[in-house]
Amino acid sequence: MSDLLARHRAVMPNWMALYYNEPIEIVGGKGNRVVDANGKSYLDFFAGILTNMIGYDVPEVREAVESRLASGVVHTSTLYLIRGQVELAEKIARLSGIPDAKVFFTNSGTEANETALLLATYARGSDQVLAMRQSYHGRSFGAISVTSNRSWKNNSLSPLNVHFLHGADRHLAQFRGMSDAGYIAACVDDLRHVLATAVSKDVAALIAEPIQGVGGFTMAPDGLFAAYKEVLDEEGILFVSDEVQTGWGRTGSAFFGIQNHGVTPDMMTFAKGLGNGFAVGGVVARGDLMDGPHAAGVATFGGNPIAMAAANATLDYVLDHDLQANAARTGEIIISGLREAAPRLPVVGDVRGKGLMFAVELVDPATKAPAPALAARFLEETKRLGLLVGKGGLYGNTLRMAPPLTLTEDEAREGLGILVTALEAVNDEAR
């Protein structure tokens, strides 16, 4: 065990998961690659869990932050005007497609969801909330209420009254031979049943990830969110899209994930990649909800000038370089390459994704049961071959990949080659 790992184990909580049998310390980065303390270089297909959206050591971001530092004022208070907040809010409001949108900045995705839940429950005067099975929205008290899956909730108590909907478990429906249309109809019936049986008549909101992140890049079928929205609209229930992983063009086909479904939500929450490594999150919501009589969000450092400088520079970079189109192009190279390789690799249970957000599910070749041990093995193999990837999903058997949106076509092919080599190695072992 390295000295740093021993010290980490001594003073950090035992539930802080570290990847790899021998965890790595990343000490440098440039472009879409990082270097560990042993000098080993990795092509990064996880981008710090989607935080390093435009790669490492980006001059535009560094200069924006350095010029803020040079002013001598890192942060005072949101009691005073902060130019970067207004500039960023204007851009996000415009891009959101939400009518009369207003923006509030936080430091994280969890705080963003906490704020959205507060706004929704204040506006509707109800503690009843809908969320999706297999969701992850954070682990503060409000956010953990709408986070699904036992292993993420542990034994937490829930201050909100939450009902979990179907939608993310489409692959189970497919496994049972159900069509998407039949599945959507069943999901909508279930939603109506939930509403009829909810404890209080008014339900505040549905919060959903357009593609579930921690849940394993699980995708609802096209048409599901639109069908849900129709039912929600009948009752005035608000729709909150958690764009913490799916925002900023990552899916290639839309700037925010929910826009792929033709749904305009009442609110969207965001975080992770926007600051390219600097802590920033927020909510963009219909103005009447944001300005509601009971609404109030508080975050001392939310929207601080350093985070705003990083976020403005990052978002400008994404727009100026049309990284949404790059995500579509490079993502297609990898997803189609993985789909091509899958038929000769029985260990691959599913390949799914959109743009630069894609996943491979590993299963036991004989029984098709989830194979988390193989996913752990795969992580070691890709590490050895110089590629960083993530894992997740309900059973821990899903390999999650979300490279920086700046990935080049050559890097896409290089990473694809490593993924296929590592899948072959795991496949050979599983036979």
12: Cβ–Cβ under 8 A, 6 or more apart, which residues? none
* 138 close to 116: Cβ distance less than 8 angstroms: no
Question: Residue 208: what are its φ and ψ, rounded to 5°?
Answer: -150, 150
Footprint of ligand PMP on 329-358 (CB under 6 A): none
Measured from the CB atom, the residue of 85 and 115 that comes closer to ligand PMP is 115
Beta strand 205-208 with 238-242: parallel, antiparallel or unpaired?
parallel
Residue 113, interface with ligand PMP (CB under 6 A)? yes
Residue 138 touching ligand PMP (CB under 6 A): yes
322 Cβ contact partners less than 8 Å away, ≥ 6 residues apart: none
Which residue is listed with tokens 């789909």?
339
Q: Which is nearer to ligand PMP, 244 or 284 (CB)?
A: 244
**Residue whose structure tokens are 């049986």:** 197
Query: For residues 42 and 136, which CB has a smaller minimum distance to ligand PMP in the complex?
Result: 136
> Binding residues for ligand PMP, how many (CB under 6 A)?
15
Stretch that binds ligand PMP, among 62-70, 103-111, 287-295, 332-340 (CB under 6 A): 103-111
Q: Which two tokens stand for residue 139?
A: 């682990």
Nearer Cβ to ligand PMP (19/180): 19
Q: Does 108 bind ligand PMP (CB under 6 A)?
A: yes
Phi, psi of 361, rounded to the nearest 5 degrees: -100, 130
Instruction: Measure the N-to-C terminal CA separation of the chain; round to a whole number of Å.
Output: 32
Nearer to ligand PMP, 275 or 349 (CB): 275
Residue placing its CB nearer to ligand PMP in the complex, 195 or 255: 255
- Of 134-142, 180-188, 351-359, 375-383, which segment contacts ligand PMP by CB under 6 A? 134-142
Q: Which is nearer to ligand PMP, 142 or 370 (CB)?
A: 142
Angstrom distance (rounded) from CA 109 to CA 180? 31
Contact 430, 370 (CB under 8 A): no
Find the residue with minimal CB distance to ligand PMP: 109
Q: Which is nearer to ligand PMP, 112 or 195 (CB)?
A: 112
Tokens standing for 392? 């997740």
Site string for ligand PMP, 180-199 (x = CB under 6 A): --------------------
* Burial of 395 from C-beta contacts in 10 A (0-12 / 13-18 / 19+): middle
Residues 207-246 as x/- pattern, contact with ligand PMP by CB under 6 A:
--x---xx---------------------------x-xx-
Nearer to ligand PMP, 166 or 250 (CB): 250
Distance, CA of 122 to CA of 144 (rounded, Å): 18
Whether 385 and 240 have beta carbons less than 8 Å apart is answered as no
Per-residue string for binding with ligand PMP, 358-387, x by CB under 6 A?
------------------------------
For 410-421, letters b (16+ CB in 10 Å) and e give: ebbeebbebbbe
Q: How far is the CB of 343 from ligand PMP (least distance, A)?
A: 31
Identify the residue among 110, 115, 134, 427 touching ligand PMP (CB under 6 A).
110
CB of 269 to ligand PMP, least distance (A): 7
114: tokens are: 């906490």
Interface with ligand PMP includes 271 (CB under 6 A)? yes
Residue found by looking up tokens 């549905």 in the block: 206
Contact 221, 170 (CB under 8 A): yes
Q: Which residues bind ligand PMP (CB under 6 A)?
A: 108-110, 113, 136-138, 209, 213-214, 242, 244-245, 271, 281
